[in-house]
Chains A and B, each alone.
Chain A
Amino acid sequence: MKIDDDDFLTGAVPDPDTEPTATERAHAKAFSDLIDKTLASGKLPPAMSADDRALLEVATVIRATHGALDLAPSKQRSVVEDALRQAIGGGNAATSLPGGAPVIPLRRRLRTLPWAIAGTSSLVAAAAIVMLVVRKPQLVTTPQTPEMPLSWKSRPTDTLIGRISTECTGLVLDCAREATVKTSARIDTIFSDRLAGYRDRRFGGKR
């Protein structure tokens, strides 16, 4: 098909508000028919001008972006497999598109990958269990704590206080007063002794 459109492709740009001429209408109609035929048949005309070919490709792209153009199932499969191959670090995508031959090994590897991971994990887990069962328990030697001085320990105060004398010959109230004094003296003795031990333990004997 030959369309002579040099006059409006190379000529001055017409005013957009001007009415299309009969030639322009005829050219538009002819080009529209050409696009319809091409898209319907899926084949380009055997001969056409370079400008028409460029316009036809643009029209095809525009139509495809509007979703009105479906890919053939084999083409779709090829595109998807290429994308998968690229995702797992495979070879060049362009190499698999025309022939489709490398796609089959890729699928096989994808099928065997989970089994390989599971098998390896099981082996490692089994090895760890065997190691736990077979290995001898380690003897943990606890360090001997040094003998603690008696003065650091909390302990009965009998040796410090001794036998408690309750002798009192006075009146009951006087005896109670005397008991108060003696008891206060005992707690003073206990406190002083334990304070010395506490200081010795905490501050290394510094008073």
Chain B
Amino acid sequence: MKKQHLLVWMIGLAFASGCSSSTEPDKLTRSVTKTPDADDVIDEQLMIALGQAKNFHYKAKVYMSDGKVAEAIAAVRQILSLRFPATAPEADDVRNDARALLGRLLVSQAQLDEAMRVVDEGLAAVTRESFFVANLYTVKGEIHFARATALTTDPRATEEKRAAIDALEKSIKINEALQKQLERQ
């Protein structure tokens, strides 16, 4: 009988200590050696994506040195499908820069509609203003101007020229705002 009482008390104490320890989950999950949030730091995934982007740009540069524009376009397109960390600001910058270059390469091949589609896709996905976004607006202006030039005497040429001015104005405004912001810092 005494043994059974002792057993019951031991079970009770184990139950009580289990309950009390369950009230301190943070103590266990939060480590003193915890490093800063993984989303903020430069990690392997970002470096791999940047390295890939660097290689594709180099590839495009080599193709262009031989006048192989189509191959250069294909190389730059691959940058758009690279997987960056979801919250890395570098990803937006690299993609917008690639879109701007892709737009210019397509303009050089007289593929104005495709160039405009690439640029508009990039502008639609903008989450913050940057020099790269300003550059995209510049390319958008160049595409409108190229369209206007192709239309010559067509009345739509005036609209394209107006759209080009608007896009370039937008680019200038973004650049100025960012420049002032950097100077204040």
Interface residues of A (CB under 8 A from B): 109, 113, 116-117, 120-121, 123-125, 127-128, 131-132, 135, 137-138, 140, 142-143, 145, 148, 152-159, 161-164, 166, 172-173, 175-177, 179-181, 183-184, 186-188, 190-191, 194-195, 197-198, 201
Contact = CB atoms under 8 A, between A and B. Distances in A.
A78 B32 CA distance: 69
A140 B25 CA distance: 10
A35 B11 CA distance: 60
Contacts, number: 185
B80 interface: no
Interface string B27-59: 100101011100111110011001101100110
B8 A120 contact: yes
B30 A140 contact: yes
B26 interface: yes
A148 B40 contact: yes
Given A148-B40, A172-B107, A173-B108, A121 B12 contact: yes
Contacts of A184: 54, 57-58, 60-61
Contacts of A190: 50, 90, 93-94
Given A124-B11, A154-B46, A158-B132, 14 more contacts: A116-B4, A128-B19, A143-B32, A157-B130, A180-B64, A187-B53, A187-B57, A190-B90, A190-B94, A191-B54, A194-B46, A194-B50, A195-B50, A201-B41
Nearest to A175: B104
B153 interface: no
B184 interface: no
A198 B44 CA distance: 8
A162 B46 CA distance: 21
A120 B9 contact: yes
Contacts of B185: 159
B78 interface: no
Interface of B: 1, 4-5, 8-9, 11-13, 15-16, 19-20, 23-24, 26-27, 30, 32, 34-36, 39-43, 46-47, 50-51, 53-54, 57-58, 60-61, 64-65, 67, 69, 72, 85, 87-90, 92-94, 97-98, 100-101, 104-105, 107-108, 128, 130-132, 134-135, 138-139, 142, 146, 175, 178-179, 182, 185
From B42, B93, B107, B182, residue with most partner A Cβ within 10 Å: B42
B64 A153 contact: no
Given A127-B12, A179-B101, A191 B30 contact: no
Contacts of A157: 89-90, 93, 130, 132
Contacts of A120: 5, 8-9, 12
Contact of B42 (A113, A137, A201): A201
Contacts of B24: 138, 140
A188 B58 CA distance: 9
B20 to A, nearest CB: 7
